[in-house]
Amino acid sequence: MSGYRRRPVALYVIAVVLVALLAACGGDSPSTTTAAATEPTTTPTTEASTTTSSASDTTATTETSTTETTASDTSTTDTTVADAEADLTPVEPEEGLTRLFPISPGWVVESSDNSVTVGITVGSAECYGLASADVEETADEVLVTLTAGFRPDATGCGGAAPAWTYEFELSEPLGDRPVVDTHTGLELGTERPDPDA
């Protein structure tokens, strides 16, 4: 009989401890917690709404972050393109250069019916210069030939290579004729080549 009476007392003590723990953790009675957990999230109960709001707030924050990142990536790309165009320096052929060598234009920067501007990457203007620029037009293509050279006082020419541009005047409208580098025989694209590629 004494064993029979101890069980209900032990169960009662455990139940009281559980209720106290639940009250300390959630501040609600066990029946409220169970009801809130089993109701659909659309029901406006305090606990369920809080949980749902937290989840949607997290999702909204994540989406906002992604949108902001995309917007910032786009503005970075626009800035990069603007910076890339800002560092283009128009050049003209000059005399007095030594150790001449052929160079290939990298891309078509701009074109119109009467002219085509090509982009060139050779090296720093303190060391190099454009020696000559020639164009030959046929019915099918526009052939460009460029030559560069070293300045007589050039030393330590391994620095950064800013981009130059040169504008060729055309005698006939460019139309759909490709612009071709005579040194490589390749048609020039309109995208600036990636120096790391």
Are 59 and 106 members of one domain? no
- Describe the strand order of the beta sheet including 115-121 as a list of residue ranges: 88-90, 163-169, 115-121, 107-111
The verdict on residue 195 lying in a domain is no
What pLDDT shows up at residue 20? 63
Whether residues 38 and 55 share a domain: the answer is: yes
pLDDT at 141 over 90: yes
pTM value > 0.95 = no
DSSP 93-160: --SS-EEEEEE---EEEEE-SSEEEEEEE---TTTEEEEEEEEEE-SS-EEEEEEEEE-TT-----S-
Residue that is last in its domain, among 54, 84, 114: 84
- Tell me what pLDDT residue 39 has: 44
For the segment 176-193, the average pLDDT, to the nearest whole number, is: 95
Same domain, 14 and 45: yes
Q: What is the domain count for the chain?
A: 2
Which of 89, 122, 92 has the alpha carbon at shortest distance from 105? 122
Please give the residue range of the domain that contains residue 18: 2-84
Question: Given 24, 51, 84, which residue is the final one in a domain?
Answer: 84
pLDDT at 195: 72
Tens of pLDDT along 65-106?
Answer: 333 433 444 444 344 444 445 678 999 999 999 999 999 999
Whether 65 and 139 share a structural domain: no
